[in-house]
Amino acid sequence: MQKTAATLAELDTPCLVLDAARMRRNIARLKARLAPFGVRLRPHLKTPKCIEVARELMETPQGPATVSTLKEAEQFAAAGVKDILYAVCIAPHKLARAGRLRAAGVDLTLVVDSVPAAQAVAAHARATRDRIPALLQIASDGHRSGVRPADDLLVEIGRALQDGAELRGVMTHAGASYDLHGAAALAEIAEQERRAAVSSAERLRAAGLPCPVVSVGSTPTAHFARDLSGVSEVRAGVFVFFDLVQAGIGVCTPDDVALSVLASVIGHQKEKGWIITDAGWMAMSRDRGTAKQAVDQGYGMVCDAEGRPYADLIVADANQEHGVLALRRGSRAALPDLPVGALVRILPNHACATGAQHERYHVLDGGSNPVAEWRRFSGW
């Protein structure tokens, strides 16, 4: 592990730079927005995978928190987080590993959306005499997992869980919100997400089943919901850093994006208008989430080392360790003069994907020199 560098120019490129001031502004914004609704924020820590960022996000050092893998649960538990929702349907052979975390004192909640999984959780609970809590995943927009609110499976799964384990509530995630744009559409899908979760909770309660937790959320819906009646907690993850996909959806602007990749210019193809850097798709990730949006940002938007965007300059193409900077098609802007060795910072399409390519954050805090290095973890 290298020492904290005194200036960005001392860092080995490519590397990940985190603007902590922007991150804190993003966190404060969502917390302020949710405050009037009286719901808890259960931040999704799959975006940062870093304890220092988690502590900025969580209400208390013990949580609550959301994770997407048991590795995340274990890493955050080792750092003192106690209230963790593992928000991906459990595979039965992972129950022993989940059980070890619970035996160590972590209030780990699982998710199921099928009778076989509920039966496996209940059987494991009976065998280990640990009434493992689980949320029932509801499909609010049909984009991925979950049971539809009107499906009779709902009560069947709830009963299968209660046969030894604990039905703690319902959860849903409006992943389809990522394909929308603007406040009206996002408010509408947020209401659809809320209604799916609340109506499912009501059906379970009407069948005599408990349902204390009603958990909803995605970064777009969390920022645009107008009503959260009946909801007990909101999950959101990528808002902590934001990214160009979220800017394209209309949840933030590029000025809110707290994550960037520092890169060095390594060459030019002048007749083509290309500037070549050492940040290829290995550093940016292969995520091309803006390709289907109104503004395609290539593999990222290029800024100077202080974080100020160059007009119309994007990472137009990428190989493993090469990024090709070029002006957007049709742009009349001038290609900036960036000699070999010049530093640029590139805002990513998708903070979760870009972050995952790196082992640490170089943290800026109000200035343009790094003040700390925060470790990220990866794997499963």
Residues that bind a copy of itself (CB under 8 A): 9, 12-15, 46, 68-70, 88-94, 97, 113-114, 116-117, 120, 139, 142, 144-145, 175, 264-269, 272, 276, 278, 281-283, 285-288, 319-322, 324, 339-341, 350, 352-353, 356-359, 378-380
Pick the closer one to a copy of itself by CB: 22 or 46: 46
State which residue, 29 or 268, has the beta carbon closest to a copy of itself: 268
Nearer to a copy of itself, 39 or 245 (CB): 245
Whole-angstrom distance, CA of residue 373 vs CA of residue 17:
9
Q: Which of 86, 139, 132, 131 is nearest to 113 (CA)?
A: 139
Least distance between a copy of itself and beta carbon 45 (Å):
12
DSSP 237-298: -GGGT--HHHHHHTSS-GGG--EEEEEEEEEEEGGGTEEEES--HHHH-S--GGGGSSS--B
E-strand spans in the chain?
Answer: 15-19, 40-41, 65-67, 83-86, 107-112, 133-137, 166-171, 213-216, 233-234, 259-269, 274-277, 301-304, 309-318, 323-327, 343-347, 360-364, 370-375
Nearer to a copy of itself, 327 or 352 (CB): 352
- Rounded least distance, CB 198 to a copy of itself, Å: 22
User: How far is residue 371's CA from residue 137's CA, in Å, rounded to a whole number?
Assistant: 41
Rounded CA gap, 95 and 99, in Å?
6
Q: Which is nearer to a copy of itself, 126 or 322 (CB)?
A: 322
Nearest approach, Cβ of residue 272 and a copy of itself (Å): 8
- Spatial distance between the Cα atoms of 275 and 68, rounded to a whole number of angstroms: 37
CB of 2 to a copy of itself, least distance (A): 11
Smaller CB distance to a copy of itself: residue 146 or 307? 146
Residue 109 is which amino acid?
T
| Terminal C-alpha separation, the chain | 22
Question: Which residue's CB is nearer to a copy of itself, number 25 or number 143?
Answer: 143
Residue 144 CB, nearest approach to a copy of itself (Å): 6
Task: Give dist(CA 287, CA 180) in Å, integer.
Answer: 18
Give me the least distance between CB of 143 and a copy of itself, in Å please.
8
Q: List phi, psi (to 5°) of 13.
A: -105, 155
Q: CB count, 10 Å around CB of 76? A: 24
Q: Rounded to the nearest whole angstrom, what is the least distance from the CB of residue 262 to a copy of itself in the complex?
A: 11
The token pair that represents 354 in the structure block? 């870009």
For residue 216, the minimal CB distance to a copy of itself (Å) is: 17
Closer CB to a copy of itself, 80 or 92, in the complex: 92
Give the pair of three-digit tokens for residue 147: 């049971």
CB of 287 to a copy of itself, least distance (A): 5
Nearer residue to a copy of itself within complex by CB, 203 or 350: 350
* Amino acid (1-letter code) at residue 10: E
Q: How far apart are CA 140 and CA 147, in angstroms?
A: 8
